[in-house]
């Protein structure tokens, strides 16, 4: 499917990944962002909105009728709206209603509108406790968090609709995306921006547990390129697609890479209690996307970190707004 001159709706398009995706797609398509602005913001896509290169409709994916009106003439829907990992830890009802019911709503609205493709943006967090590394899409998911479980439920909804009546759903599973626009503060804050914010403020870098946990950190421009490559495939694969860097990096090495990039080699690192449900290892098998779409995520952490550092230097979030501890820890 050529992503040109299409009407594209992005749920969660005012969030971190969604705004980057909107920016990339707005070059050649008409983009509508649908977002309740809970963790996302108008500012995330202000450049596009101010230049009339995308439209923002404020609404909630839990409102099926609202979705019907927005999806009306959509050729393609990217579904990213989500209740994030941290928020899901203290709001199980919200996790279910946004991540499961909301995904069902979005899929049904896209189906009703006759969209040619529905891209469900799942997550590597569905893998949880797997013991196969690098992890292929075919392995048996074993989520360790409510977030991972509800993201997996969203996949199953898409899968069932596809099998039952040919609903054109495609599932992608991005691994830890990082880059400009990533949340440092509040419930959405992630490891790399938190490290940078704490280092810039002269405070020890908070590492949960030993820091031996590994992740496939993927620069946002690679993540978005992979998502678009998957959505552009001629035919829809009936299996999910990992979107990730092939490089496995420990949290301690990521902390050291941040300190190296900031030229602060002796800056202290503080070990905090382990996060409940924290995945010990995340390492993507990227061979499917390579074989199907010729895609590989090539930006290394060392190459990609400066863009996140520059962004955080200019937005200067307060470390107090990036909590060290996890709910329940």
Ligand X SMILES: NC(=O)c1ccc[n+]([C@@H]2O[C@H](COP(=O)([O-])OP(=O)(O)OC[C@H]3O[C@@H](n4cnc5c(N)ncnc54)[C@H](O)[C@@H]3O)[C@@H](O)[C@H]2O)c1
Binding site for ligand X (CB under 6 A): 11-12, 14-18, 35-40, 60-62, 80-84, 98, 102, 121, 123-124, 151, 174, 176-177, 188
In sequence order, the β-bridge partners of residue 294 are none
Nearer to ligand X, 81 or 293 (CB): 81
Q: How far is the CB of 114 from ligand X (least distance, A)?
A: 22
Query: What's the min distance (Å) between Cβ of 5 and ligand X?
Result: 25
Residue 120 or 167: the one with the smaller Cβ distance to ligand X is 120
Q: Which residues contact 71 (CB under 8 A, 6 or more apart)?
A: 9, 77, 106, 109, 110, 112, 113, 115
Of the pair 147, 198, the CB lying nearest ligand X is at: 147
User: Smaller CB distance to ligand X: residue 222 or 267?
Assistant: 222
- Least distance between ligand X and beta carbon 321 (Å): 15
Output the smallest distance, CB 240 to ligand X, in A.
12
Other C-beta atoms lying within 10 Å of the C-beta of residue 302? 10
Pairing of strands 269-272, 205-208: parallel
**Helices and strands in the chain, H and E counts:** 12, 13
CA distance 37 to 39: 6
Q: Which CB sits closer to ligand X, 67 or 267? A: 67
> What's the min distance (Å) between Cβ of 83 and ligand X?
6
Compute, in degrees rounded to 10, the torsion defined by CA atoms 12, 13, 19, 23: 150
């Amino acid at each position: 499917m050529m992503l040109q001159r299409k009407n594209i709706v992005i749920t969660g398009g005012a969030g971190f990944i969604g705004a980057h995706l909107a920016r990339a797609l707005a070059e050649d398509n008409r983009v509508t962002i649908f977002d309740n602005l809970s963790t996302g913001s108008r500012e995330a896509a202000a450049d596009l909105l101010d230049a009339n290169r995308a439209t923002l409709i404020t609404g909630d994916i839990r409102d099926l009728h609202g979705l019907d009106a927005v999806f009306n003439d959509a050729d393609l829907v990217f579904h990213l709206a989500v209740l994030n990992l941290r928020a899901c830890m203290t709001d199980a009802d919200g996790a279910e209603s946004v991540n499961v019911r909301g995904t069902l709503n979005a899929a049904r609205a896209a189906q009703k509108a006759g969209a040619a493709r529905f891209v469900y943006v799942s997550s590597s967090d569905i893998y949880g406790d797997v013991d196969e590394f690098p992890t292929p899409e075919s392995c048996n998911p074993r989520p360790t968090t409510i977030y991972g479980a509800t993201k997996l439920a969203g996949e199953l909804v898409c899968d069932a609709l596809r099998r039952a009546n040919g609903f054109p759903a495609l599932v992608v599973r991005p691994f830890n995306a990082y880059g400009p626009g990533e949340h440092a503060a509040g419930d959405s804050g992630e490891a790399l921006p938190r490290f940078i914010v704490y280092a810039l403020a002269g405070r020890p870098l908070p590492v949960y547990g030993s820091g031996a946990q590994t992740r496939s950190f993927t620069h946002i421009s690679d993540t978005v390129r992979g998502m678009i490559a998957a959505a552009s495939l001629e035919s829809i694969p009936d299996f999910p697609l990992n979107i990730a860097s092939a490089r496995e990096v420990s949290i301690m090495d990521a902390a050291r890479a941040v300190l190296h990039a900031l030229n602060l080699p002796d800056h202290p690192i503080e070990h905090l209690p382990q996060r409940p449900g924290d995945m010990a290892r995340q390492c993507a098998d990227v061979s499917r996307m390579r074989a199907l779409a010729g895609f590989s995520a090539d930006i290394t952490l060392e190459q990609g970190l400066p863009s996140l550092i520059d962004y955080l230097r200019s937005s200067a979030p307060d470390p107090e707004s990036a909590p060290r501890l996890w709910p329940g820890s």
